[in-house]
């Protein structure tokens, strides 16, 4: 059996809004919607319950910073940019993608609460600050939706994050559930497509015919899952 195939080309090399390094498995987002770096004041204050709360910036090398960058970067690369690994078909674990840094103006902070100053014995919560509306992202999943919008050039009215989406503010949990269902449906279609390609290749091998391998994937974004429809598609002119 002979093969006809195209040489693979680097993926996503044309966008000035982000840089993808497949060798290092890193994603750098150059776009931002923040003019001035935003983060809460570190000045301690008292709550109604008599506890003390304060916030601290997370350095880029802390475990929390690395966790957020890995969760956001891996989700955006695998599910928004639709990058896949050869070993993924066989259930093998592959190294995760990660953000090299948060977009300009975004800062990861930890809000601490304690029974006395600088004694965080009540709770600690991590947030990502910088979003234009002044809101704070409470999870990597919230931030990933907004960053996908940045990577597409901030199209008007299409950000799907709970702070930008029009109408009544949504909750993240139902969005996560919907996205999970959409992702499973996408993977099912991919499995069917690859199985049909496998049968075609096997038929060529048995018959001795030339196998024409699929062309190199065209760069595309999973906008159906990560962005709202364009206003005209929603009937808004």
One-letter-per-residue 3-state SS of the chain: CCEECCCCCCCCCCCCCEEEECCCCEEEECCCCCCCCCCCCCCCEECCCCCEEEEEECCCCCHHHHHHHHHHHHHHHHHHCCCCCHHHHHCCCCCCCEECCCCCCCEEEEEEEECECCECCCEEEEEEECCCCCCEECCHHHHHHHHHHHHCCCCCCCECCCCCCCCCCCCHHHHHHHHHHHHHHHHHHHHHHHHHHHHHHHHHHHHCCCEECCCCCCCCCCHHHHECCCHHHHCCC
pLDDT tens sequence across 92-107? 467 899 999 999 999 9
Domain boundaries, the chain: 7-171
pLDDT tens sequence across 2-59? 555 555 556 788 789 999 998 899 999 999 998 776 677 777 888 888 888 888 899 9
pTM comes to 0.85
Rounded to an integer, the average pLDDT of 181-207 is 90
């Amino acid at each position: 059996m002979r093969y006809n195939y195209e040489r693979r080309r680097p993926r996503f090399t044309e966008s000035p809004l982000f840089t993808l390094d497949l060798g290092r498995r890193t994603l750098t987002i150059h776009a931002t919607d923040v003019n001035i770096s935003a983060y809460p004041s570190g000045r301690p204050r008292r709550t109604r319950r008599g506890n003390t709360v304060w916030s601290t910036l997370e350095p880029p090398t802390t475990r929390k910073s690395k966790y957020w960058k890995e969760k956001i970067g891996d989700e955006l690369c695998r599910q928004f940019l639709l990058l896949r690994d050869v070993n993924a078909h066989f259930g093998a674990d592959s190294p995760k993608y990660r953000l090299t840094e948060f977009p300009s103006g975004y800062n990861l902070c930890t809000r601490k609460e304690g029974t006395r100053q600088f004694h965080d014995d009540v709770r600690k919560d991590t947030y990502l600050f910088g979003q234009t509306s002044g809101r704070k992202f409470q999870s990597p999943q919230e931030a990933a939706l907004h960053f996908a919008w940045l990577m597409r050039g901030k199209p008007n009215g299409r950000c799907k994050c709970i702070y930008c989406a029009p109408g009544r503010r949504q909750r993240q949990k139902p969005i996560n559930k919907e996205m999970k269902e959409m992702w499973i449906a996408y993977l099912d279609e991919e499995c069917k497509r690859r199985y049909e390609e496998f049968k075609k290749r096997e038929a060529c091998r048995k018959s001795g015919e030339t196998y024409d391998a699929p062309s190199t994937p065209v760069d595309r974004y999973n906008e159906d899952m990560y962005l709202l429809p364009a206003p005209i598609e929603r009937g808004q002119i």
